[in-house]
Amino acid sequence: QAGGQGGSAASSAPATPRPEDDAVESRLTSHFSVNLFVTAIADGQVSSSTAPKVQERLAQIVRKVPKEQNTSVEVVGGGTMDLKMRVFVVNSEDAKAVGDYVNAHVNQHPAAFVVLARQLSMAVLYDPATLDLGDASVADRLRKQAKTRAVKVLRESIAAKMSGVTAACLRGYEGALAPGERLAAVLATLAQPVPSDPSAARYVTFAARIKGCPLVSDSGKRTAAELAAGRGITWGTA
C-alpha cells in the first residue's frame, strides 16, 4: 500500500536486491507514456447554471468512482480523510468536462472538484519481447495500471509534510486549484527522464505489473486474445 497509511519505518527492512531482479530491470527497454489529469470530488455542488448535458456527465463522474480511486489519505496536521479521486487521461471527454467546469468556477467555495495534478506524466516500463503494444487491449491495461499508480503517487505526495495540503484544502474550501498548486513541487521531485525517450521529457515511472509469469517467455509476445483464453499472462495492480 501507499505511504499515506503511516507505520514505522523500522517495521520492515529493505529487501536485498536479487540478481534476477536486475535481469528483469535490464529488459525493460521500452515505455508506454500517458498524461493524466488527477482530480478529487470536493464538498461543493455543481452549479445549477451548468448546461444540463454537462451536469449529467459530471453527476455520473461523481457517482461512478472506480474502487481503486475511492481511497483515504493522510493530511498535513495529522489524521486521515476519505477521498474520492477521479483520474482521467488528459484530453478525454471526462477530463474536458471536469477541466472546463473548474476553469469556469475557480472562485467557487467550496469547490465541487479540486485539481490534484493538471498533467501527471506517467511512463510504464515494459519488456517489448513480452508485451505487444500494437494490441489495443494491452495498451488499455497499461493505461489502467498508470491510473492506479497515480492514486498511490498522489496519496504519498499529499501525506508529505512539504505539500502543505490540509483536509479543508482537499474539500474545496480554498478553491479548486489550491491542492494542485501545493502538490506541484512534490510531484516534480518524482519525475525523471526515461532512457527509451530521447526527448528531455520527465515522467513518474514504474514497471508494468504482471502476476505469476516471468517477463520473458519462450512463447514470445502475449496478446489480449491469449489473456482472454486464459493461457497468457495475468495482470497485476500497479
Give the count of beta carbons closer than 10 Å to the beta carbon of residue 181: 15
| Per-residue pLDDT, 113 | 98
Q: Is the pLDDT of residue 49 over 60?
A: yes
- The chain-wide mean pLDDT, for the chain, equals 79
Distance of CA 135 to the CA centre of its chain: 22
For residue 110, say if its preceding peptide bond is cis, omega within 30 degrees of 0. yes
Buried b (16+ CB within 10 A) or exposed e, 44-66: bebeeebeeebbebbeebeeeee
List the single range of 40-44, 64-68, 122-126, 196-200 with lowest mean pLDDT.
196-200
| Per-residue pLDDT, 46 | 96
| Per-residue pLDDT, 27 | 62
Alpha-carbon gap, residue 56 to 65, rounded angstroms:
15
Q: How is 196-238 classified by DSSP, letter by letter?
A: T--SS-EEEEEEPPEETS-SS-TT--B-HHHHHTT-S-EE---
Q: Which residue has the higher pLDDT, 21 or 237?
A: 237
DSSP single-letter state for residue 68: G
Q: Using DSSP, state whether 3 is helix, strand or coil.
A: helix
Most confident range, picked from 38-52, 114-128, 183-197, 210-224 = 38-52
Q: Is the pLDDT of residue 78 over 70?
A: yes
Q: Is the pLDDT of residue 31 over 90?
A: no
Task: Please report the sign of the dihedral spanned by the C-alpha atoms of residue 57, residue 59, residue 63, residue 66.
Answer: positive
pLDDT by residue (tens digit) across 169-209? 999 999 999 999 999 999 999 998 888 777 878 999 888 87
| Per-residue pLDDT, 235 | 39
pLDDT by residue (tens digit) across 118-162? 999 999 888 887 777 777 888 888 999 999 999 999 999 999 888
Q: Is the pLDDT of residue 21 over 60?
A: no
Alpha-carbon gap, residue 120 to 133, rounded angstroms:
21
| CA nearest neighbour of 217 among 37, 22, 24, 66 | 24
| CA nearest neighbour of 37 among 122, 113, 95 | 95
| Per-residue pLDDT, 26 | 52
| Per-residue pLDDT, 161 | 82
Give the count of beta carbons closer than 10 Å to the beta carbon of residue 39: 28
| Per-residue pLDDT, 206 | 87
Q: Is the pLDDT of residue 228 over 80?
A: no
> What is the mean pLDDT of the segment spanning 28-53?
92
Return the beta strands (E) in the chain as ranges: 30-41, 70-74, 80-89, 113-126, 192-193, 202-207, 210-211, 234-235
Percent of the chain, pLDDT > 90? Answer: 55
Angle between helices 178-188 and 136-159 (to 10 degrees): 100
| Per-residue pLDDT, 94 | 96
pTM score, two decimals? Answer: 0.77
